Amino acid sequence: MTFCSGRCTAALLLVLSPVPIAYLIYLERAVPSTHVISYHSSGFLRECAKWDDVGRRFLVSFMDGGGIGEVVIRDSDSDDSEVLEEVILVKDVDIAGNASAGIVIDRDRNRLLVAIGDLVGNKYSALAAYDLSTWHRIFLTELSGYSKEISFADDVAFDAQGNTYVTDAKGSKIWKVDVNGKLVSTIKSPLFTPPGWFINLVALNGIVYHPNGFLIVIHTFSGLLYKIDLTEGDDSNKVNVIEVTGGTLRFGDGIELLSPTKIVIAGSNPSTRLVESSDEWRTASVTGLFRSGMFHRLVSAATVKEGRIYLTHIVGFGSKKRHILVEAVF
């Protein structure tokens, strides 16, 4: 959920309203029970952090104004009190003002894939790819131009052939872009639009590619989880709702694949969930919950660093805009 009619508005209200100031101070003084990585930033809103093991750094997307930064880890056993510094890597002038939302590292092709969207008006969506060594932009693919169509490119995944899949959180569809940056098709289904206008204010969001040849996608406001089988013909994409037991996935955001049978779904309302399946994701169950205690910072994404799960919290606080990545333990 990465547009002002949703999570962004909530964050701004928390920051600007005089009513919750005392409560915010109380929450900020609370100490999470797990490991915390803190860093100072140039902006208040950070949507997604992904661990780059080769570069020994977290790559971070800028929701406010767009761009990519890095947070280099000095010591894997660093003290929680140490505050690191974010360094800006990418700020493209030609797409400035748009949000950089979901990101994913394509290590085999040495590139970072970035979902880009118009945060305020939901009138523009794109996919960008950057070289991880030089930060040269490999391509910029317009997914939805400045038209009457409402869209927001939210999250991104790629398959074994290098095709990229981008969720549209406003238009309830998935764009498919080939390895060279050409928009080739759009995946649509009536199942992507459950009944109720409010339910579809924030639609398709987190997405991951499963090595057995399908996508797993979350619909944020409804909590529906989809399995999308990818076949040779785009017209034969099969969309099925995964039957989930053990708890709701409502308000789920970013997804991280932990293993062929486990995913983690980031979220703040009320918690991040561990979800498991033993039947190729025809059905699944919620097997764990984690609450960081920092729900006012709004959890949006998850990543794995050396076997440990870290959660991105969107909102930074203080004059130096301190952001946190909190370890999730289930």
Question: Per residue in 91-150, pLDDT tens?
Answer: 999 999 999 999 999 999 999 999 999 999 999 999 999 999 999 999 999 999 776 789
Task: Report pLDDT for 179.
Answer: 98
Which structural domain range is residue 186 located in? Answer: 34-328
- Asked whether residue 276 is domain-assigned, the answer is yes
Task: Report pLDDT for 3.
Answer: 42
- Asked whether residue 161 is domain-assigned, the answer is yes
pLDDT, tens digit (0-9, with 9 covering 90-100), for 293-319: 787 899 999 999 999 999 999 999 999
Q: Which residues of the chain have pLDDT under 50?
A: 1, 3-5, 14, 19
Task: Report pLDDT for 4.
Answer: 45
Cα atoms in the 13 Å half-sphere on the side-chain side of 5: 14
- Asked whether residue 10 is domain-assigned, the answer is no
- Asked whether residue 26 is domain-assigned, the answer is no
Task: Report pLDDT for 9.
Answer: 52
- Asked whether residue 73 is domain-assigned, the answer is yes
Task: Report pLDDT for 258.
Answer: 98
Extract long-range pairs of 187-191: CB within 8 Å, 24+ residues apart.
Answer: 187/228, 187/234, 187/237, 187/239, 189/239, 191/224, 191/226, 191/239, 191/240, 191/241
CATH of the domain at 297: 2.130.10.10
Number of structural domains found in the chain? 1
- Asked whether residue 7 is domain-assigned, the answer is no
Q: Find, among 240, 256, 141, the residue nearest to 192 by Cα.
A: 240
Task: Report pLDDT for 149.
Answer: 85
- Asked whether residue 292 is domain-assigned, the answer is yes
- Asked whether residue 25 is domain-assigned, the answer is no
Task: Report pLDDT for 28.
Answer: 75
